[in-house]
Amino acid sequence: MFDRFGQLVLRVAVAFILIIALHPTPVPQPLIRALQEGQAALDHNRPEAALESLEHAMAFEPALGSLHLLAAEISQATEDYPRVFAHLDLYVPLNETNLIPNCVRSHALLANGDIEKALEIWRPIHGACPQPASFFRLLTQMSLANADRQTTMYALEQLTALEPNDPVSQLAYGQLLATCHPEDALPTLRHARVLSSEAGRQASPLISTIEETLLLDQEAYTLAQVGQTFAKQGEWRLATWSFESALKLEPTYVEALAFYGLARDQVGEDGSAELQYAIEEAPNAALPHIFLALHWLQASQPERARQELEVAATLDPENPAIAAELGTAYALLGDIQAAKAAYLHATQVAPQDPRFWITLAQFSLNHEIEIATLGLPAARNAVVLDPEDPAAWDFLGYAHTLLENPILAERTLWKAISLRPTRAATQFHLGLFHQMQGDTSRAYAAFEMAALLDPDGVIGQMAEGSLSRVR
């Protein structure tokens, strides 16, 4: 966490010289050895060993109480926060005006999750603290995790002032500004785009959204569109803040209400109240029903999701996404024929969209129904429409596996892997292919890779189960 080992080494050396110069009797060899070992460990960037040596030296010679600050800083570097506080409490200052102990304490409090106390100590002294950017970077991370927009804004304001040419902090500050003051965010976002192509990739859609919607002079609309841009990028916390800002200006803005409910669900909150309110405000709008259905699917209540989706389908019968989600709800309810009809309807409404062919193929393969007449043709269509999609090739390969076409199965599965080697589902299907061919060693390797790629997911769990069967 702290890149200050050069300074720390110097302070060990100074302590070493002072103890020799001022000690009235010959300095015990164990003390000299402990200090030498501590200095060597810091010199070779081994903080744990250095800390152990320093603690041994201080236990041997209590007069070295000033080294507790050094021990606290090393403990900070190893993220051992109880040890940080213990050493700070034992620190004997040589200079009463030294503010470094408070700097270290505030940083440790922050890392330990006590943001309020950390800021209480930090604010009056931060100008005297070394490497303040590391504090504000951590404060940004912690306050974002706590969904504290005000503290995040303060942290990023300070961080961008300290690091004006850092594209990461500039982008983050511009994004956060866009959630409440989109026009004010443009200079920072443009600066981030100039600093880095990666930052530009994320900033450019947001810049375009703000520039285009500002022409309409409707701030709530601009904020809602900013929120949708964040949603497309998977930045759901920023999306919630954008929709909140829009709704402060127009509390009955139905589209913003619906997206706000969806975004709250995505960040682990409960967006159902906003979604219900949106439905009450616009009962003939399909979007709130769709998002409420997604809420119920996420809550493992497929029957309630089905009800909302059937209403949405009545309101917007040519929407393929509604049909596909209906298929999911029907499948979860065990109504396989209704699910099949819904998935087929999605492909009929949008025959040139590979996503719905992939969904149909996945449904057929997962349930192992009509593989030759439904799953295989659906996967082929997906490959034709998007030959760079590894999922399409994966499902095509898995269909051939289930149909016992080993040559085509292996060829298409390896094509999927060549497109994305880290796709856990493809590795799992490759393992099933090798298992069916009786090649247990290759099956084991593929299952092991799938488990590593998806340790906490459904694919990872299935791979772990398969590993036990091919050992």
* pLDDT band at residue 22 using 50, 70 and 90 as cut-offs: very low
Rounded mean pLDDT, 255-272: 95
Global pTM reads 0.78
DSSP alpha helices (H): ranges in 146-218? 149-162, 167-178, 182-195, 197-214
List Cα–Cα distances, 41 to 18, 60, 129, 314, in angstroms: 20, 19, 25, 71
Per residue in 153-169, pLDDT tens? 999 999 999 999 999 99
Angle at 465 between CA 464 and CA 470, to 5 degrees: 95
Res. 39: pLDDT tops 90: no
**Does the residue 79 lie in any domain?**
yes
The position carrying tokens 């940083």 is 107
**Does the residue 207 lie in any domain?**
no
Res. 64: pLDDT tops 70: no
Give the max Cα distance, the chain: 94
Q: Are 243 and 266 in contact (CB under 8 A)?
A: no
**Does the residue 315 lie in any domain?**
no
Rounded mean pLDDT, 431-442: 94
Which has the higher per-residue pLDDT, 90 or 63? 90
Determine the Cα–Cα distance for residues 120 and 163; give it in Å rounded to an integer: 23
Tally: H helices and E strands in the chain: 27, 0
Q: pLDDT value at position 13?
A: 45
Res. 121: pLDDT tops 80: yes
Residue 110's CB is within 10 A of a number of other CB atoms, namely 24
Q: pLDDT value at position 57?
A: 65
Q: What is the dihedral of CA 158, 160, 166, 167, to 10 degrees?
A: 130
DSSP alpha helices (H): ranges in 233-375? 236-249, 254-266, 272-281, 286-298, 302-315, 320-332, 336-349, 354-367
**Does the residue 332 lie in any domain?**
no
Question: Which of 38, 18, 20 shows the shortest CA–CA distance to 29?
Answer: 20
Angle at 450 between CA 447 and CA 453, to 5 degrees: 150
Q: Which residues contact 164 (CB under 8 A, 6 or more apart)?
A: 170
Which has the higher per-residue pLDDT, 329 or 101? 329
Determine the Cα–Cα distance for residues 462 and 123; give it in Å rounded to an integer: 51
Average pLDDT over the chain reads 87
* pLDDT band at residue 90 using 50, 70 and 90 as cut-offs: confident
Question: Which of 12, 22, 134, 112 shows the shortest CA–CA distance to 70?
Answer: 12
Q: pLDDT value at position 86?
A: 75
Q: Is 337 exposed, middle or buried (0-12, 13-18, 19+ CB in 10 A)?
A: exposed
Res. 388: pLDDT tops 90: yes
Return left, alpha or beta for 46; rule: phi > 0 is left, psi -120 to 50 is alpha, else beta.
Answer: beta
Sign for the CA dihedral angle at 398, 403, 408, 410 comes to positive
Determine the Cα–Cα distance for residues 229 and 214; give it in Å rounded to an integer: 15
List Cα–Cα distances, 297 to 104, 269, 273, 320, 325, in angstroms: 47, 15, 16, 18, 9
Determine the Cα–Cα distance for residues 69 and 462; give it in Å rounded to an integer: 50
Determine the Cα–Cα distance for residues 228 and 24; give it in Å rounded to an integer: 73
Angle at 171 between CA 167 and CA 174, to 5 degrees: 140
Determine the Cα–Cα distance for residues 401 and 46; give it in Å rounded to an integer: 52
Q: Are 279 and 309 in contact (CB under 8 A)?
A: no
**Does the residue 57 lie in any domain?**
yes
Residue 41's CB is within 10 A of a number of other CB atoms, namely 22
Question: Which of 303, 380, 304, 374 shows the shortest CA–CA distance to 334?
Answer: 303
Sign for the CA dihedral angle at 72, 75, 79, 82 comes to negative
The two structure tokens encoding residue 173: 């500050």
**Does the residue 5 lie in any domain?**
yes
Question: Which of 76, 146, 86 shows the shortest CA–CA distance to 111?
Answer: 76
Q: Which residues contact 121 (CB under 8 A, 6 or more apart)?
A: 102, 105, 106, 109
Determine the Cα–Cα distance for residues 337 and 57; give it in Å rounded to an integer: 76
Domain with 87, as residue range(s), is: 1-94
The two structure tokens encoding residue 320: 């393929």
**Does the residue 45 lie in any domain?**
yes
**Does the residue 297 lie in any domain?**
no
Q: Is 134 exposed, middle or buried (0-12, 13-18, 19+ CB in 10 A)?
A: middle
Which has the higher per-residue pLDDT, 2 or 150? 150
Rounded mean pLDDT, 405-429: 96
Q: Which residues contact 126 (CB under 8 A, 6 or more apart)?
A: 103, 132, 135
Q: How many domains does the chain have?
A: 1
